[in-house]
Structure 1
Amino acid sequence: MTAKYSFTATCPKGLENVLAEELRALGAAVEREQPAAVRFSSDLAMAYRTCLWSRLANRVLLNLGHERVEDAEGLYRAVVEIPWEEHISPTGVLWVQFSGTNREIRNSQFGAQKAKDAIVDRLRKVTGARPDVDKRDPDLSVMLRLHRDKLEIGIDLCGDSLHRRGYRTHIGAAPLKENLAAALLVRAGWPEIAEQGGALLDPMCGSGTFLVEGALMAADIAPGLMRDSFGFERWLNHQNDLWLPLREEALQRRVEGLQKPLPEIRGYDADAKVLFAAESNIARAGLDKHVRVSCRPVGAFKVPSHRPVKPGLVITNPPYGERLGEQEELRETYAELGRQLKQEFGGWKAAIFTGNPELCHSTGLRSHKQYKLFNGSIPSQLLLFEIHQQRDSEGGSSGERTKPRLSDEAQMVANRLQKNLRNTGKWANKNGVSCYRLYDADLPEFSAAIDVYRSVEDQTYAHIQEYRAPATIPEDKARARLSELVRATRHVLDLPGRNVSIKERRRHSHKDSGSQYQKRGDAAQAFWVDEYGAQLEINLWDYLDTGLFLDHRPVRQYLKQLSAGKKLLNLFCYTATATVQAALGGCTESTSVDLSKTYQAWAQRNFRQNNMDPYRHQLIEADCMQWLQAAQQNRRGHYDVIFLDPPTFSNSAKMRGVLDIQRDHGELIRQCMALLSPGGTLLFSNNLRSFKMDEAIQSEYAVENLSSTLLDKDFQRNPKIHNVWEIKAH
């Protein structure tokens, strides 16, 4: 009589019922489903078959026992009673894995150590020798799971996880595990579609996992056939006479499967480099004559035309982005996918697996079925679609690109942006202003600022800076509103996602803290804009600020007039855009001081772009407060014009002290006035909304508030955006 054993097959969370169906089809007697696992009973041959043929399991464990365990001693007793001498040679290599805790066993490493001690002690007592312990290539892997004081003890029959088939040596940026890809294909109905001769296409195939797994199914190839070995082959109770016929059967089925005509299986990707990985994986799986990949963007995705293709399944795992900016850029990718599916794939089925199901709304398709799953630890969804034949009246010609419909909230924002464009945008065009503020929390529930930048290459960009939402607004609601604002901006300005920069949860202010020196993300392209003849470098992505304070546009123009034929000192100069304007206006000499290496380098690029003489226009990397003190002590030369634009507050590690502009502005102004030439002018600016000029300063010098005068139309809705004071000696 054939002996029956108890086994547990593990799988990704959410696939328990699919795995149970697969095990039944293989011939196993399924006992029950449990989180990320299915228990079944069978003979040893059935367990071998499962290791070889399961497309969905991670591991197959031979269950040796389950005991109630409350503490470390109970754990030791439960493990030491098992006859380990029947499973591993005392000269073999052992590895023990332990998961779970309880009130007494609070650390999985401690649990693994205690279980290992029990196994080694048992073998030493029975055989007089003990095995080595090493996780690399062990002869026996023991797996223990403790849950609610119940300990399950098993032997891993697989060795390496079953998802590692052996064909994927090259992977893309965010690859799916092979067994998860296989499960998604099963959920999408691919086995039935393949049986009927339908095609399998992936428009964003990456390293080709869907394609290979789909081909293995269509050709009846066992997924474990490419593995070098299984864990059970070094198990003392292994029965090779059961294993070898199963392997021979699988080899024969592979030959027969590849001899029959397979359905069309093709993948596409816009990244030629990742297609090299796909081609390598396909060839290693022995499927290079049956699976093809091509370099093609999503917008050109069509039914292959080289031969008649029967409608089948389009399946893909598109990127979904971690940051909102990435997600907004991907909306166009999803929208393109939806357009191509509707225009080219009527009568097909489609499946999209994503960690951001909300992005799928951009496809314009409505899913008829959804499955909640996990991609590793990421909650994800598989959405299934039926693609219907599109009527001409619905979509126009195949080459026509229509904007996706906005939600009611996004349309409300779009209406306001269009109104602002008619006013502020018209003013900007008339006055030659290429960078301006389009929106500044005009609608209170959409609390952000939107700036428009037009480059010298005539590319339009949007810079969206979210203001911090009130504590009463839930985080998810605030994020949803920002997303609607971004959609409306792209819609009104007709911008691709790559031309939109989004800064979340940051109030826009000029140099409010040291954080503006730090990169905000991966390097992105900078570009040049023209401001009244000056070419200035803009970077919307890498830092908190962009390189140009738009509200200071009229301040820079006033400095340009003041500095003609004069000598300028620019303190806290940032990227020195004010100095550039002054130089173009006829400033004879300038000194620009800032503590940041980043801004000094940026200023240098601005100087070079505008052909400024480095001998007449000097950049100094220094703490401005220390530089001022040293200038007074050394009695350095005087300046005709000084521009003082400090941050509201700074405690940079490079500074000796802390700058608080309300507290310290009096001393800063006096130090600057000491460096002014007779008849000279100090222009003092800051962005502290509650700022009050020191009365003593107003009595010592001639002080005039120019804040409202030096404010252009695009910032007049926010008159407290900056303070500007002109200060002269009496």
Structure 2
Amino acid sequence: MTYQYFATCPKGLEGLLYTELQTLGAQELRETVAGIYFSGEIETAYRVCLWSRLANKVLLPLASFEANSQEELYDGVRELRWEEHLSPSGSLLVDFIGTNDGIRNTQFGALKVKDAIVDCLRDFSGERPSVAKRDPDLRVNVRLAKSKVIVSIDLSGDSLHRRGYRIKQGSAPMKENLAAGILMRAGWTEIAAQGGALLDPMCGSGTILIEAALIAADIAPGLLRGSFGFERWLNHRSDIWLELRDEAFARKKAGLARDNLPEIRGYDADIKVIRAAEENIVSAELDHWLRVSRKELKDFVKPTHNHAMEFGLVLSNPPYGERLGEIESLKLLYAHLGERLRNEFQGWRAGVFTGNPELGKQMGLRADKKYKFFNGTIASELLIFSINADAFVQSRVEQDARFSKDAEVREQAEAKVKVENKKEQAAALTNGAQMLVNRLQKNMKQLEKWAKKNNISCYRLYDADMPEYAAAIDIYRGQTQPNRAPQLYAHVQEYAAPKSIDEEKAAARFAEIEMAVPFALDIPAANISYKQRRRNKGTSQYEKLSERPTGDLFSVQEGAAKLHINMWQYLDTGLFLDHRPVRLMIADMAKDQRFLNLFCYTATASVHAAMAGARYTVSVDMSNTYLNWARKNFALNGLSESRNRLEQADCLKWLEQNDQQFDLILLDPPSFSNSKRMEDVLDVQRDHVSMINHAMRSLAEGGTLIFSNNLRSFKLDSDALANFTIEDISARTIDEDFKRNGKIHQCWLIRH
């Protein structure tokens, strides 16, 4: 006997479900929103329930009628012959979807349908069925749209996306049928057939991996389910069902016995979700095949042990955030993912599923295709990339070189204009500005050689070398995007003039600095930031000085770390250059260590520690501004917060309450702070003994505390700290660019 059915699915999967149903023997298919109508014998419905990777429900419609009131709903349901579907002593559950003017509540609608079925069976036999919220004998589905009611038997029971293997999940799990749809759209079926691999660098609880394995090994997704809705339906044909199950088990056995099963691996930075993925893989009976391990995105590379890794699919569902702080750091995460793909996976295909397609634009790759899906109610996209040079988004410089036939002529013309402009600027220089130019160029010549030799991309060029021009000038060589050539930037901080200096005279000297810097360093004015340093009060250090677009921000390379620089919006740039040697020392010491960073600022030292292989890092600061900045630094390097915790807290209070032990601690407090966020004023000279004692209680035996501060008059109270071994390493932490100012900071190693 042929029946008419309706298979539901998530929006965006209709076309794929249509094709899948055809392969499963369905006839007379008709596509609609979030589902497909089809016909077939009962065997067809069973096969769809067992084998569909995409459907949510398989419904058998019994009747369709008009209902503008609760009475009409009751009467329409009551007229059906329910004794043909459910034993009077059985149990039922009603799923009711939709409302209208007469039926304004789905629970009320479900109640009226239940009453009609119960009354029908009681009139038929004298017995009445019970209601079971779990595992009913019959599940009834009723859909109401305007005045039209469709009453169906739910043959699937629980939604088909619940395969039965997922016993643990992460914070934002993807439904199994959506994962299967994404895999199909990404071309996994064809890649797996050719022996290609699948890698997921942010695998979460492993749903994509498991669904990929089920597809590759020809395993029916319904085999692990405990039951289906049709199994206690009075019209159930158990002989047909058991035959289909036996066939599915035989195909599973044959599929898993193949010699050429593709390599499928997953990685995630969060060990908790890796453990969840492992449990789910065991539950799916695939633990002899699938592999997952904890790995930061920065370490995501193509495995080399297996020839099957020569081509394949990288497919992932990265986080896509909602809060502004998340979005800014996630831009850098996506950029890092794009960099990993470009550097490691040329010749592969990649798919990125995201609820925020704008983030995909950060990857530096041009998508071949884009598919729209819904992840629950969230409109999402699957971006498909072919990882080859043609897909790389080129920089403006590269585009000009490629498309301009007269690039050389234009460069010559621009050089000529530049020379003319230089002459005009030179003629306008005052004597004082010219002296400053000479000093800057002399310093640049000396320090550039040193910086290049030591792979240093940012350094202090000038620090009030000429007292009348009291400013600190720092050089940064940074990139606005990973695939763009580095640019030169200058950060100019004028020291506040003493009250004895006439304001007009001070302003004139600052104007000469503004004249000299771009001329001496040959840097565009747009790449120079001018500020005046004043003593910070309260939260002033966190307040924006400029609304310059964030697109003007850039990153610099320091050792193995990339660090996010903002030269315009805040008083500081996010990187204290004088502490470069300390950060690099931490990188040398941090492997396998538990690292604590107090008064962490933008957590640059924590990034160095994490990049060097620290077991985990904890970074504490009161400022949410700086902690959001730290998130960007971690994301820029492909580091997750699961192993790099950020704590917004008063460091002193946090230390008093901390019960963790750390192997390596950086304590680098400000000289003075009266922030409203703190209960008391912090004075490093007065409070350093107490701070160090508290920090040492958190330091494990054999560990090291690095204590540093920038108060020039600071004196360490060695007598009060006599219980500890103290080593003054200040001289070793002053690099070439700060030797003119040996008191820029002081630094000690302190051990038990």
Equivalent AA in structure 2 for residue 575 of structure 1: M
Against the structure 1 CA distance between its residues 435 and 49, is the aligned structure 2 distance closer, same or farther, given a 3 Å change threshold? Answer: same
Aligned to 1:36: 34
Q: Write the mapping of 1:47-446 to structure 2, written as runs, cut at 5 A.
A: 47-260=45-258, 261-309=260-308, 310-389=310-389, 403-405=479-481, 422-424=529-531, 427=533, 436=541, 439-441=544-546
Equivalent AA in structure 2 for residue 383 of structure 1: L
Report the Cα offset of residue 182 of structure 1. 0.4
Cα displacement string for residues 647-690 of structure 1 (whole angstroms, at most 9, x for unaligned residues): xxxxxxxxxxxxxxxxxxxxxxxxxxxxxxxxxxxxxxxxxxxx
Contact (CA 8 Å) 1:205, 1:269: kept in 2 or not? yes
Report the Cα offset of residue 573 of structure 1. 7.2
Equivalent AA in structure 2 for residue 268 of structure 1: Y
Against the structure 1 CA distance between its residues 414 and 108, is the aligned structure 2 distance closer, same or farther, given a 3 Å change threshold? Answer: farther
* 1:524 to 2:647 alignment: yes
Against the structure 1 CA distance between its residues 247 and 39, is the aligned structure 2 distance closer, same or farther, given a 3 Å change threshold? Answer: same
The CA distance in 2 between the partners of 1:402 and 1:258, in whole Å, is 51
Aligned match for 2:43, one of 42, 45, 56: 45
The CA distance in 1 between the partners of 2:129 and 2:600, in whole Å, is 68
The CA distance in 2 between the partners of 1:393 and 1:144, in whole Å, is 50
Contact (CA 8 Å) 1:420, 1:439: kept in 2 or not? no
Against the structure 1 CA distance between its residues 183 and 84, is the aligned structure 2 distance closer, same or farther, given a 3 Å change threshold? Answer: same
Report the Cα offset of residue 175 of structure 1. 1.2
Cα displacement string for residues 8-35 of structure 1 (whole angstroms, at most 9, x for unaligned residues): 1111111111111110111101432222
* 3-state SS of 1:365 partner: coil
Contact (CA 8 Å) 1:30, 1:38: kept in 2 or not? no
Report the Cα offset of residue 322 of structure 1. 2.1
Report the Cα offset of residue 74 of structure 1. 1.1
Aligned to 2:439: none
Kindly report the root-mean-square deviation, in angstroms, between the aligned alpha carbons of the 2 structures. Answer: 4.4
Q: Write the mapping of 1:643-722 to structure 2, written as runs, cut at 5 A.
A: none
Contact (CA 8 Å) 1:204, 1:269: kept in 2 or not? yes
Contact (CA 8 Å) 2:367, 2:391: kept in 1 or not? no
The CA distance in 2 between the partners of 1:391 and 1:82, in whole Å, is 59
Aligned to 2:426: none
What TM-score do you get using the length of structure 1 for normalisation? 0.61
Report the Cα offset of residue 188 of structure 1. 0.7
The CA distance in 2 between the partners of 1:212 and 1:274, in whole Å, is 14
Equivalent AA in structure 2 for residue 290 of structure 1: W
Contact (CA 8 Å) 1:424, 1:438: kept in 2 or not? no
Against the structure 1 CA distance between its residues 139 and 284, is the aligned structure 2 distance closer, same or farther, given a 3 Å change threshold? Answer: same
Cα displacement string for residues 561-619 of structure 1 (whole angstroms, at most 9, x for unaligned residues): xxxxxxxxxxx9763555x55x979xxxxxxxxxxxxxxxxxxx99954999xxxxxxx
Following TM superposition, the consecutive aligned residue runs of length 4 or more in structure 1 with deviations greater than 6 angstroms are 390-396, 399-402, 413-421, 431-435, 453-460
Equivalent AA in structure 1 for residue 356 of structure 2: N
The CA distance in 1 between the partners of 2:19 and 2:193, in whole Å, is 18
Report the Cα offset of residue 359 of structure 1. 1.3
* 3-state SS of 1:160 partner: coil
Against the structure 1 CA distance between its residues 434 and 217, is the aligned structure 2 distance closer, same or farther, given a 3 Å change threshold? Answer: same
Against the structure 1 CA distance between its residues 55 and 428, is the aligned structure 2 distance closer, same or farther, given a 3 Å change threshold? Answer: same
Aligned match for 1:21, one of 15, 19, 22: 19
Equivalent AA in structure 1 for residue 63 of structure 2: G
Equivalent AA in structure 2 for residue 271 of structure 1: D
Against the structure 1 CA distance between its residues 162 and 606, is the aligned structure 2 distance closer, same or farther, given a 3 Å change threshold? Answer: farther
Contact (CA 8 Å) 1:536, 1:577: kept in 2 or not? no
Cα displacement string for residues 44-80 of structure 1 (whole angstroms, at most 9, x for unaligned residues): 0000000000000111111111112211111111101
Gaps of 5+ in 2: 399-454, 458-476, 494-524, 552-567, 584-598, 604-624, 638-644, 658-669, 695-752
* 3-state SS of 2:293 partner: strand
Report the Cα offset of residue 319 of structure 1. 1.0
Count of equivalent residues:
501
The CA distance in 2 between the partners of 1:212 and 1:72, in whole Å, is 45
Against the structure 1 CA distance between its residues 98 and 393, is the aligned structure 2 distance closer, same or farther, given a 3 Å change threshold? Answer: closer
The CA distance in 1 between the partners of 2:292 and 2:393, in whole Å, is 34
* 3-state SS of 2:6 partner: strand
* 3-state SS of 1:385 partner: strand
The CA distance in 1 between the partners of 2:298 and 2:46, in whole Å, is 45
What TM-score do you get using the length of structure 2 for normalisation? 0.60
Cα displacement string for residues 195-219 of structure 1 (whole angstroms, at most 9, x for unaligned residues): 1111111111111111111111111
Report the Cα offset of residue 335 of structure 1. 1.6
Contact (CA 8 Å) 1:166, 1:227: kept in 2 or not? yes
Aligned to 2:678: 575
Aligned to 1:641: none
Report the Cα offset of residue 272 of structure 1. 2.1
Report the Cα offset of residue 221 of structure 1. 0.5
Cα displacement string for residues 216-249 of structure 1 (whole angstroms, at most 9, x for unaligned residues): 1111010001112111110000011111110110
Aligned to 1:509: none
Cα displacement string for residues 137-158 of structure 1 (whole angstroms, at most 9, x for unaligned residues): 1100101000021111101111
Report the Cα offset of residue 40 of structure 1. 0.7
Report the Cα offset of residue 295 of structure 1. 1.9
Gaps of 5+ in 1: 464-485, 500-521, 530-534, 538-549, 557-571, 586-604, 613-730
The CA distance in 2 between the partners of 1:363 and 1:460, in whole Å, is 29
The CA distance in 1 between the partners of 2:118 and 2:188, in whole Å, is 48
Report the Cα offset of residue 405 of structure 1. 2.8
Equivalent AA in structure 1 for residue 348 of structure 2: W
Equivalent AA in structure 1 for residue 381 of structure 2: Q
Against the structure 1 CA distance between its residues 407 and 121, is the aligned structure 2 distance closer, same or farther, given a 3 Å change threshold? Answer: farther
The CA distance in 1 between the partners of 2:632 and 2:37, in whole Å, is 55
Contact (CA 8 Å) 2:650, 2:678: kept in 1 or not? no
Contact (CA 8 Å) 2:333, 2:635: kept in 1 or not? no
Equivalent AA in structure 2 for residue 275 of structure 1: I
The CA distance in 2 between the partners of 1:148 and 1:188, in whole Å, is 38
Equivalent AA in structure 1 for residue 193 of structure 2: E
Report the Cα offset of residue 450 of structure 1. 3.6
Contact (CA 8 Å) 1:490, 1:497: kept in 2 or not? no
The CA distance in 2 between the partners of 1:611 and 1:198, in whole Å, is 57
The CA distance in 2 between the partners of 1:393 and 1:240, in whole Å, is 57
Report the Cα offset of residue 526 of structure 1. 4.0
Contact (CA 8 Å) 1:124, 1:130: kept in 2 or not? yes
The CA distance in 1 between the partners of 2:124 and 2:275, in whole Å, is 54
Report the Cα offset of residue 82 of structure 1. 0.8
Against the structure 1 CA distance between its residues 271 and 373, is the aligned structure 2 distance closer, same or farther, given a 3 Å change threshold? Answer: same
The CA distance in 1 between the partners of 2:150 and 2:632, in whole Å, is 59
Equivalent AA in structure 1 for residue 326 of structure 2: E
Against the structure 1 CA distance between its residues 179 and 445, is the aligned structure 2 distance closer, same or farther, given a 3 Å change threshold? Answer: closer
